Amino acid sequence: MRHADIPKAVSQRLSLYLRHLESLQRSEVSTVSSSQLGRSLGLTAAQVRKDLAYFGQFGFPGVGYKVQHLIAQLRRILGTDKTWLMALVGVGNLGRALVRYRGFEKQNFEIVAVFDNDPRVVGTTVGTLAVQPLDDLEESVRKRKIRIAIIAVPAEAAQGVADRLVAAGIRGILNFAPTTIVVPDPVKCCAVDLAVQLEQLTFQVQGR
């Protein structure tokens, strides 16, 4: 089964499984059943088994899943068994915080190039990286074979930046700009949308 055919809900849950398994590993738990895993994450045991079964037979009847083995499988399936180089565009408050965010390394992600179009920011250093002018984007992305980019620019600029990233050969975009951006088919885009999330909260919180 091709990855494109996997329901999005399933692949999202794979990440949750992986994170929980990693925490079990830290607690030196070596085996876990679908019902235990489900209970910890608020899912049914059947759903856990069905999700994992999309990708192979990882469990042992009567025993459950071997934590270490399932972690390795999930990392391979998700593609996080290798390091991913990322570019970040937009060095405002959020961009700066993302560059400094230590969580990426743990997951095998690394920001290796940072861009901005503000001449006052270009050339300054963020973390260990010199901010490059936006004009260097295409060359830098190609040269370093960067495949994932983070957009942290204002809403008005987001689509234009996305177009350039796509033209430069980027395959996936994580979009923090508060606007929907459109990318051509083989390219993937995920939105981290504070507005949507906060309004989700106010909608549910007021409705009582």
Partner DNA sequence: TAGATTGTTAATCGATTAACAATC
Residues in touch with a copy of itself (CB under 8 A): 2-4, 6, 8, 11-12, 14-16, 18-20, 23, 40-42, 77-80, 84, 93-94, 96-97, 100-101, 103-104, 107, 109, 147-148, 171-174, 178-180, 182, 186, 188, 190, 192-208
Residue holding tokens 């049914």? 44
Reduce the DSSP state of residue 186 to 3 states and report it: coil
Using CB under 7 A as the binding rule, whether residue 112 contacts DNA is answered as no
For β-strands 188-191 and 172-175, DSSP reports them as parallel
User: To the nearest whole angstrom, how small is the minimum distance from the Cβ of residue 139 to DNA?
Assistant: 39
Which C-beta is closer to a copy of itself: that of 44 or that of 180? Answer: 180
Q: Where are the alpha helices (DSSP H) in the chain?
A: 8-26, 34-41, 45-53, 67-78, 93-100, 103-106, 137-144, 155-167, 194-206
User: To the nearest whole angstrom, how small is the minimum distance from the Cβ of residue 201 to a copy of itself?
Assistant: 4
Which C-beta is closer to a copy of itself: that of 77 or that of 134? Answer: 77
Phi, psi of 124 (to 5 degrees): -75, 165
Q: Are 138 and 166 in contact (CB under 8 A)?
A: no
Which C-beta is closer to a copy of itself: that of 79 or that of 160? Answer: 79
As a whole number of angstroms, the distance between CA 166 and CA 187 comes to 7
User: To the nearest whole angstrom, how small is the minimum distance from the Cβ of residue 168 to DNA?
Assistant: 31
Which C-beta is closer to a copy of itself: that of 4 or that of 119? Answer: 4
User: To the nearest whole angstrom, how small is the minimum distance from the Cβ of residue 136 to a copy of itself?
Assistant: 23
